[in-house]
Amino acid sequence: MRQDFISTSQRGLNTELLPYQLYQKAKRYGMWNPQDIDFTQDREDYARMTDEQKDETLRRIAGFLGGEEAVTLDLLPLIMVIAKEGRLEEEMFLTTFLFEEAKHTEFFRLVLDTIGEKGDLNHYHGDVYKQIFHDILPTALNRLLTDHSPEAIAEASTVYNMFVEGVLAETGYYAFYEGLNKAGVMPGLMKGVGYLKTDESRHISYGTFLLQRLICEHPHVYDVIANKMAELAPLATQLYQGPDPSKQASAYGVRVDDLRQFAKKQLSVRMEVLARAKGQTIEELYKQTKAAVDV
């Protein structure tokens, strides 16, 4: 039973906590509307693409759209478990996640509808993609419905924040910028991708904070995270192999090896940052994350 309300107590809201400051950033920078983006040029650019270029563009959009829908559907258990722990400032920020992931889903669907692609794109989701978004992601997050252990929370955040957002999505953005952006086509899509990247950077920041907090509180959790990331790493390499292993570059000149190396770097960076929490106290972590909030 609830004994008291944090916000009306002497404690009040901890405005210095990183999640609370990220919540403020979400209010300032996350209020974009997909329906305000002009896709007129995108429609014209897409109509002039070769079949191979269209296929590449649809493959990337389908990958993002399925992923955004998946996290929209699967995210709620993480919000619920943080709420049950009474971490009000963290939950306040997590409420923006669900709103933003839903908006990302709307955005990519709007792109497809605008360029006239209303067919079934599920064939772009290969076996590795399905393993991640049909099995690994929902399993890790839905586990939190019955298991509120630090290990379960760490695994859920590792899969969602560190891998799906911190590795797969970041590599996907890189592919968009190396392909469509360098070619100077589909400016509406690229404008929305820029908004997405900013939104997801806040999500990754929170995931990093959450996992570092768990490591400070339960040092053995670092090994849980490291083991899960090691298990997931080969899937990133396979996912960005491309539909034709014999091709070294996509229709827009995006090198397959560059994508794999970018994904590998993201995996390494995530673990390097998390490792900093080993041996830290909660007080040291809060001080450190406060200093880094605007980075």
pLDDT tens, residue by residue, 162-202: 999 999 999 999 999 999 999 999 999 999 999 999 999 99
pLDDT of residue 4: 78
What is the Cα–Cα distance from 178 to 157, expressed in whole angstroms?
Answer: 28
Query: What pairs with residue 249 in β-bridges?
Result: 255
Q: Which long-range contacts (CB under 8 A, 24 or more apart) does 113-118 make?
A: 114/39, 114/42, 114/43, 114/188, 115/39, 115/42, 115/43, 115/46, 115/47, 116/43, 116/46, 117/58
Note the residue count of the chain. Answer: 295
E-only strand ranges, 74-200: none
Query: Does the pLDDT at position 8 exceed 80?
Result: no
DSSP label at 61? H
* Position 295 confidence tier, pLDDT thresholds 50, 70, 90: very low
Residue 249 has phi, psi (to 5 degrees) of -145, 155
- Pick the more confident residue, 283 or 290: 283
What is the Cα–Cα distance from 160 to 277, expressed in whole angstroms?
Answer: 19
What's the CA dihedral at 155, 161, 166, 170 to 10 degrees? Answer: 140
pLDDT of residue 243: 64
Span 238-260, mean pLDDT? 81
Amino acid at residue number 283: E
For the domain made up of 18-283, give the CATH fold.
Ribonucleotide Reductase, subunit A (1.10.620)
- Give the residue from 59, 184, 76 showing the smallest Cα distance to 121: 59
pLDDT of residue 245: 66
Domain ranges of the chain: 18-283
Q: Is 255 helix (H, G, I), strand (E, B) or coil?
A: strand
Mean pLDDT (the chain, rounded): 92
pLDDT of residue 242: 67
Query: Does the pLDDT at position 294 exceed 90?
Result: no
What is the Cα–Cα distance from 190 to 36, expressed in whole angstroms?
Answer: 14
Is the distance from CB of 74 to CB of 34 less than 8 angstroms?
Answer: no
Residue 184 has phi, psi (to 5 degrees) of 70, 35
